[in-house]
Structure 1
Amino acid sequence: MYSIDRTTSMSFKLIDVQHRHCVFTIARELRPFFLQDRSLLNSLFSFVNSVVSRMFHKDNKSELFTPGFICVLHSFDRDLKWNPHIHCLVPEGGVGSSLLWLNKKHFNYKLLRDSFQTALLNELHKRLGDSFKNVKSRIYADHNNGFYVRAMPNQCNPSQLIKYIGRYLGRPVIATSRIDSYDGVCVTFHYNRHEDNQLITETIYALDFISRLTQHIPEK
């Protein structure tokens, strides 16, 4: 019911234009920091906000574009493991100081990747201190193209926006349809691997299965 109410509420705030579904991810090496200190998760929203706004602003500085978009945090991967990332619905256009709508079909992927990486690493360095300096240097060396951001055109037209919001806003860690069996000791479940969409079936001890699920429960 919560998901339906929130989806309906957000749908009234959306502009009737083409949107783009973007995904902002972090390096695998950084995931444990966010699991240990979940207050860091909130910063992901701020960084996505800043880099998307910057991308729009750089395209036409005189217009002072202020884009409106919806962000949703997911903490899980398809295999249920800890993988915090942000799903973002961004309109393909914006209104600036002239109050005229201007379409935006080109998203600067390099700017998004590099800016998101820099903002995130600087914040972690600020929060964790100089003990993070070596990790920061290694991340830059290993991820010299920035953090992966998916922002390809995906035909998310106005009629599909409600489906997108409902799908990602109230999505559980795992749907019951993906749980294949439980024999009293182990749980078998399946998922389509993100990299190549290959069907993967995994069997793990029940306590390990529960552990993968409970790590995604927010703190009070």
Structure 2
Amino acid sequence: MRPALEVADIFRRHGPAYRLAHDGHLGRVERRVMAAIELCRTPALGGHVEACDNCGHSRVSFNSCRNRHCPKCQGSARERWLAAREADLLPVPYFHVVFTVPAEIAAIAYQNKAQVYAILFDTVAATLKTIGADPKHLGGELGFIAILHSWGQTLTHHPHIHCLIPGGALSTDGQRWIACRPRFFLPIPVLSRLFRRLFLERLQAAHTARHLQFFGTLEHLSDSRAFADALRPLRKTSWVVYAKPPFGSPGHVLAYLGRYTHRVAIANSRLVSMIDATVTFRWRDYRHDNAQKYMALAADEFIRRFLLHSLPDGFHRIRHYGFLANGCRRARLATIR
């Protein structure tokens, strides 16, 4: 059933005014995202006739845009992806570990999405691989799926990576499975400190190589000394890394994973109303016992926040590492089983 209100409805009504007001600052990717969502399942994209062989009833079904930012197009993509992952599940506990960067880094990331998001993936992978391989912890090769999310519940820019990790490691000689302790994966403080150090090293290297660019209020960070000064306090703050309790069964793993893999910034089901130029939606306040609350934004601000999460062309937001990497997954899983 079609929701009473969709992101597409907001874009169709208020998108033209938004394009006009932000003409000089709206990028090619954002324009394409808006156009795709507006045209999704409309006559503009064409369609096909679906007919019942028994009663002869027929209907016209319009084509989907298949844009990865479109709330309507992620359901079928998610189901196909999960079906492919079902064969990869191991009969072991799975852990959900989340890596988050501070707000100061998020601001830099917004102006350098491809570069900083790539650094985020590389740092998370290096952190998990290094600690997992340490004989003081597991002493073997981990396997994990990493998924980038760039939003918070109120659509603010909040880059973080969700990792789903089988609770154990393949020994360095590839001959045995090393199980983690019950209900404990890896020490969070150790992960957090290494994650912070590796990320800041890589970010500094990207700046030195002039791979980063800065505009507006961040323009001063183009200067190497100003950039170093901005990073210095971040070396002393705690970076948020947390792990959730392990899942009960492989079925729970798949159901949980499905909530994260093909999610977009906001689902149509969270939209409440669009009255004149005001959009209201539901959100969860995790700081107050996950309480459900409502937020009303001007349509212009709602569209701006939604577009904050447009990904660069060709950027992969789901990645596989270790013994779950695409090149070796089948053989490694057979060995582990």
Q: What's the TM-score, normalizing by structure 2?
A: 0.61
Once the two structures are superposed, residues 17-66 of structure 1 have per-residue CA deviations (whole angstroms, 9 ceiling, x without a partner) of 110011110011110111101111022111111111112111358x8511
User: Helix, strand or coil for the counterpart of 2:97?
Assistant: strand
Specify the alignment match of 1:37 in structure 2. Answer: 112
Specify the alignment match of 1:48 in structure 2. Answer: 124
1:95-174 equivalences under 5 Å are 95-96=170-171, 97=173, 99-105=175-181, 106=184, 107-129=186-208, 130=224, 131-141=226-236, 143=237, 146-174=238-266
The one-letter code sitting in structure 1 at the alignment partner of 2:194 is: S
| Percent of paired sites with the same residue | 25
Following TM superposition, the consecutive aligned residue runs of length 4 or more in structure 1 with deviations greater than 3 angstroms are none
The one-letter code sitting in structure 1 at the alignment partner of 2:232 is: S
User: Helix, strand or coil for the counterpart of 1:90?
Assistant: strand
Specify the alignment match of 1:198 in structure 2. Answer: 291
User: Helix, strand or coil for the counterpart of 2:297?
Assistant: strand
User: Helix, strand or coil for the counterpart of 1:151?
Assistant: strand
Unaligned runs of 5+ in 2: 1-75, 209-223, 314-337
1:68 matched to 2:143? The reply is yes
- Count of residues in correspondence between the two structures: 216
Specify which of 280, 289, 303 is matched with residue 210 of structure 1.
303
The one-letter code sitting in structure 2 at the alignment partner of 1:136 is: L
Specify the alignment match of 1:176 in structure 2. Answer: 268
Q: What's the TM-score, normalizing by structure 1?
A: 0.91
Specify the alignment match of 1:77 in structure 2. Answer: 152
Does the 8 A contact of 1:20 with 1:156 survive in 2?
Answer: no
Mark the CA change 1:191 to 1:113 in structure 2 (over 3 Å): closer, same or farther: same
After superposition, the CA RMSD in angstroms is 1.8
Specify the alignment match of 1:5 in structure 2. Answer: 80
Mark the CA change 1:64 to 1:150 in structure 2 (over 3 Å): closer, same or farther: closer
Unaligned runs of 5+ in 1: none
Distance 2:88 2:246 in 1: 21
Of stretches 8-17 and 24-33 in structure 1, the one that deviates more from structure 2 is: 8-17
User: Helix, strand or coil for the counterpart of 1:59?
Assistant: coil
